[in-house]
Structure 1
Amino acid sequence: MTTDPTKYKLNHSMIRVKDPKRSVEFYEFLGMKLINKIQNPDAKFDLYFLAYDSPKAVSHANHWTDREGIVELTHNYGTEDDPNYKIANGNTDPRGFGHLCISVDNIQAACQRIEDAGYKFQKKLTDGKMRHIAFVLDPDSYWVEVIGQKPLEETESIKETNVETYRMNHTMIRIKDPEVSLNFYKDVMGMELKRTSESKNGGFNLYFLGYGPPAPDGTADREGLLELTWNYGTEKDPNFKYHDGNAQPQGFGHICITVDDLDAACARFEEKKVNWKKKLTDGRMKDIAFVLDPDGYWVEVVQNEKLKQRCNW
C-alpha cells in the first residue's frame, strides 16, 4: 500500500447549525448548492454538504469526496426548537475557529446584494481600515469573510455580480505555535505553504496552506485553502490553549481531507506518530478517521471515491 499526499484534497469544513433550513438557505444565497445530504435518524443528526457547482465552478459535477471547498452543516435534531441553543462561533471566548471565506468576482456588488437581502455584517467594506474585505454573519453568527478576486478599483464601477464565479476560498483557525502547526500541516498532512501575510503592527501572521500547484498570482481564485492565524506571543505561554469547537460550548467541528488510499494514508499518519481522535479501527464507522492537530482541532480523513472506491456514501 502506498499513498501520495499530492493527491490529497482539503475537502470540507464542518460547522454545527441550529436550524438547517435557514442555514442552507443562506449558503445557497451565496451561490452554493446542496450536493449531498447524509441522514442519520438513529443517531438523531443530519449532514448537509454545500459547494459551488455551476459549470464555472472548480469542481463542477465531481463526486463530493473529489472536491475542495465544501461546507458541511451538522444539524442535531431538536436544536431548531430549543430557544436556549446557541453555537460558539469561535470569535468570542472561547476562541479558536475564525471564519469561512468566499472569494467573489465583484466585492462591492456582492456585498450590496448580501446587504439588500437583509443579512447582517460583522464588518462592512467601509468599516475600519481594511476596505478590501468584509465579514457577513450567517444565521448562527459564524463569520463568513468576503474577498475580491480582482482589485477593488477594477470592480467599483460595475454593479453586477455573478454567484456562479464565486469560490469557497478558505477556512481560518487560530494556532498557538506557527512552527509546530506549519510542520504538522506540511510534513504530516502534505500541504504546501501558498502565501504568508505578516502584520507586525497588528501583532499577527497569516499562513495560507493547501494542496495543488503553487499560487504565484495570489490565492483569491483558489478553493480549499487553510488559513492559520498566529497572534504573537501565544507560543510562549504554557497555559495558553485555543478551543477546538467540540468541547462545550460547541460550534466548529473539523476540517476534512480526502486521500488516495485511506488505509495507506492512515498507516503513514501512524508512522508520523500523530495523535488520534479516532483510528479507522475504532468504533462502528470503519471508513472515517480523525487526527488531532497540534492545537487539538479535529482533522477528518476520508477516502476520495474517485481515486478508489471504498464505501457507498
Structure 2
Amino acid sequence: MALSRPLARLLNITRHFQFRKMATDAKYYPIPIEAAHTDSSLTFNHTCLRVKDPKRSVDFYESKFGMELIGKKEFPESKFDLYFLSFPKANFHRNANGDIDVFRNSGVLELTHNYGTENDPNFKINNGNEEPHRGFGHICFTVPDVTHTCELLESKGVDFKKRLTDGRQKDIAFALDPDGYWIELVQYNRPGASDKFDVGYLFNHTMIRVKDAKKSLEFYQNVLGMHLLDVSEHANAKFTLYFLGYSRDSARWSQEGVLELTHNWGTEDDADFKYHNGNEQPQGYGHICVSLVNPNVLCKEIENKYGDKIQWPVKFNQGKMKNLAFIKDPDGYSIEIIPFGYN
C-alpha cells in the first residue's frame, strides 16, 4: 500500500541522527542490558502528572488540544484514579476485545488524581519549575503550524508562560495547563522545508532536568536501551539538551515518546546539588513509563547485573499492584515498567 506523502516524509527524515544506542566509555552504568537492546517491543508509553481536579484537567486537554480519553482506571481502595489521554490516531494498538491497549501505545498522558485534592483550597500541584522544587520541566506537543496553534489556544482562553513573541526564541511557546504545568509548543514543519505536512498534534517529549548528563545518558542508553537522537548545546546559557527515544526512523520532533534531558552546566560538580523528583513533597510529576511484551525478563536482568546500584521502589510483581515494577534513575526520577495489555 502506498504511503501518503506526509507519512512517507515522516518515516524518511533520518537526517544525521546516527548515534550509537549504547553509551560508549561508560563509567557509571557500564553493563548493557541485553533485554533492553534486543527487544524491539520496548516503548516509551506514557508520562504521569498528578492533577488537583480531574474534571478540569481532562476537559482542558480534550477541549483545548483535542486529546481524547482512551482509558480510565479506578482504585477506590487506595483513593486515586488514573486518566489516560492521547491525540486521536487511526492506528491505535488494540486488545482482543477491540479496546485500545493503553499500555502498548506511545504518546500517552496519564493524569493521576488523589481523592479530595479538588476540594482543598490550600492544595497546589508542584509544576517542577519553581525553586526550591525544580526537576521536571515540561511536556511538549509538536504541531504543523505553531503560530496558528497559539492563536487558536489564546482564542480559547489558554494561559501562556511564554508566547512566541516573548524572549529570544520566536519559534517556541509554552502554554500552561490548569495546574501550572508547562506545555511546550514546537512546529514539526522545520524552517526551509520544501513541503509542509499535517499529521495533527503529537505528544513529542517529556523534559526532566538532570544533575550529571553522563551518568543519566549511560542509564537511559545502557540500562533501558534508548537511542540518543539529538543533542542541542546552548553555550551562551550554559546548558545542553539531550533527546532520547526508541525509534530512529524519523527526526525527533516528528515522533512521539521522546525523553529530553536538560543539563545545566556545573551541577555535576556540586556534591550538595539535587533536583526534586516530583514524588517527594510537594508532589507533581509522577513518572515516565516504558512498556514491552515481557518486562519480567528485563527487570530480572537489570537486578542481576546491577544489584543495589539501581533502586527499586517496587520490584517486578512484588508490590500491591502486580505485574509491574518501578525503578529510579540517577536523579531519583521514577520509571514504571509494565507489560502490554496490562489491566
Gap regions ≥5 residues in structure 2? 1-33, 95-99
Deviations 1:215-241 (A, max 9, x none): 4xx311100000000000000001100
Q: What's 1:240 paired with?
A: 273
Is the 2:128–2:135 Cα contact (8 Å) retained in structure 1?
A: yes
Matches within 5 A, 1:73-152: 73-93=111-131, 94-151=133-190
Residues 112-121 or 3-12, more deviating? 3-12
SS at match of 1:6: coil
SS at match of 1:98: strand
Query: Which amino acid in 1 is paired with 2:253?
Result: A
- Distance in 2, Cα, partners of 1:242 & 1:290: 19
Deviations 1:117-144 (A, max 9, x none): 1110000000000001000000000000
* Superposed displacement of residue 260, structure 1: 2.1
Q: What's 1:220 paired with?
A: 253
4+ aligned runs moved over 6 Å, structure 1: none
* Superposed displacement of residue 200, structure 1: 0.7
- Distance in 2, Cα, partners of 1:198 & 1:7: 31
Deviations 1:197-229 (A, max 9, x none): 0001110000000002344xx311100000000
Number of aligned positions between the proteins: 297
Is the 2:317–2:324 Cα contact (8 Å) retained in structure 1?
A: no
Gap regions ≥5 residues in structure 1? 306-310
Query: Which amino acid in 2 is paired with 1:68?
Result: S
Q: What's 1:50 paired with?
A: 85
* Superposed displacement of residue 149, structure 1: 1.1
SS at match of 1:109: helix
SS at match of 1:277: coil
Higher normalized strand content (fraction of residues): 1
**Structural RMSD (CA):** 2.0
Q: What's 1:308 paired with?
A: none
Is the 2:219–2:330 Cα contact (8 Å) retained in structure 1?
A: yes
Q: Does 1:268 align with 2:301?
A: yes
* Superposed displacement of residue 63, structure 1: 1.5
- Distance in 2, Cα, partners of 1:77 & 1:8: 32
Q: What's 1:296 paired with?
A: 332
Q: Percent identity?
A: 47
- Distance in 2, Cα, partners of 1:302 & 1:223: 18
Could you tell me the TM-score, scaled by structure 2's length? 0.83
Query: Which amino acid in 2 is paired with 1:295?
Result: D
Structure 1 residues 24, 153: CA separation in 2 closer, same or farther (over 3 Å shift)?
Answer: farther
Is the 2:128–2:284 Cα contact (8 Å) retained in structure 1?
A: yes
Query: Which amino acid in 2 is paired with 1:210?
Result: G
- Distance in 2, Cα, partners of 1:9 & 1:121: 31
* Superposed displacement of residue 60, structure 1: 6.6
Structure 1 residues 170, 87: CA separation in 2 closer, same or farther (over 3 Å shift)?
Answer: same
Q: What's 1:251 paired with?
A: 284
